[in-house]
Amino acid sequence: MYSIIRSLVGRSLIVRLLAGLCLFAASCASVPPPPAGAQDQAIEIKSSSLALRIDEPAATRVDRLIWRGGVVMTANSAHFGGWSDLHVTADGRSLTSISDEGAWLTATIDYDSRGNLAGLSQGRLGQLRGLTGKPIATKAEADAEGMARLADGSWLISFERRHRLWRYRTLTDTPAPVEGPAEIGRQPANGGIEALTALADGRVVAISEEYGQRPNTVMGWIGTPAAGGSYVWQSFDYATVPDFQPTAIAILPDGSFAMLERAFDIVRGVRCRVMRFDAAQLKPGATVRAEELARLAAPYAVDNLEGMAATKGARGETLLWLISDDNFNRLQRNILLLFELAP
């Protein structure tokens, strides 16, 4: 028994160290491809099944999340990767994602006979355009991190490095700039708005990954629609714990919010927290304090998770979708995970 336990502990440590080395290597040696062409293209996505735990393939639960399948994704395109946010249609049939190299992805979601995630098919990939109508060509311009589907079907996208918000009627169109919060330009270059979503009443919610004005918080904003497609912005704080920063937000079917938080260091590797908070907490001037639903770290399935979506399943269950950014590094993976929220 001791030898078995020692073996499992050793494997867990190896997984953590490998995860750490993956992200360390990504920060030092990733070589993103040039921008995708002006015309979108069909791509073939290959998916291989992923277990919830590498050391316990039969595991089906982590804290309050029930495993509904996961896949590692590859495709026949050098531009496939870097996925930084996620939208899944209400019927669970298709998804849309954006990358931090300015690409966009659409695909059909495939399920197995039990209704669990099996893979993606009918993929299409293209490059977001800039204000001139040409595909975005540089990393400083292309670092798309957050996306929100607005009530009229258009997309609001947040960018880092040169912090800004652009609205796209469709992802193949030329965008229109949207004036952001007064503090948007004060954010660290690589720590801008990653969590972005739209409410049914037209308001949008944005949360910075790293910028805050008070200890142990980052700043968020509520944007209320105004004339000409603009917003009136009011700020709030989102409480954080050491090492973890928010990377995604999604509205749950009951009207509450799910958050995705990520941490990384070379020793412990990448860790993620799936969080939840009630809509009543979301008020100008307030401090949102989310509760932890689950924590993902090796040996659980985890990578550089940056995107999240929420839908309702066929039985009325709440489903949470998570997608990762592989930084276009061979040591990392593009993974898509599906969980059911336990009652």
16-61 pLDDT, tens digit per residue, is: 444 444 444 444 445 566 666 556 999 999 999 999 999 999 999 9
Which pLDDT value is given to residue 35? 63
Q: How many CB atoms lie within 10 A of CB 282?
A: 18
- pLDDT by residue (tens digit) across 297-343? 999 999 999 999 999 999 999 999 999 999 999 889 999 999 999 99
User: Contact, 299 vs 83, CB < 8 A?
Assistant: no
Which pLDDT value is given to residue 166? 98
- Residue identified by tokens 């689950």 is 294
Three-state DSSP state, 71: strand
- Taking each continuous run of H as one helix and of E as one strand, the counts in the chain are 2, 24
Among 156, 79, 93, 60, residue whose Cα is nearest residue 328 = 79
Which pLDDT value is given to residue 31? 56
pLDDT < 50 regions, the chain = 1-29
* pTM exceeds 0.85 for this model: yes
Which pLDDT value is given to residue 238? 98
In angstroms, the CA 21 to CA 60 distance is 27
User: Contact, 339 vs 60, CB < 8 A?
Assistant: no
Structural domains of the chain sorted by starting position, each given as residue range(s) with its CATH number in brackets: 2-341 (2.120.10)
Peptide bond into 215 cis (omega under 30): no
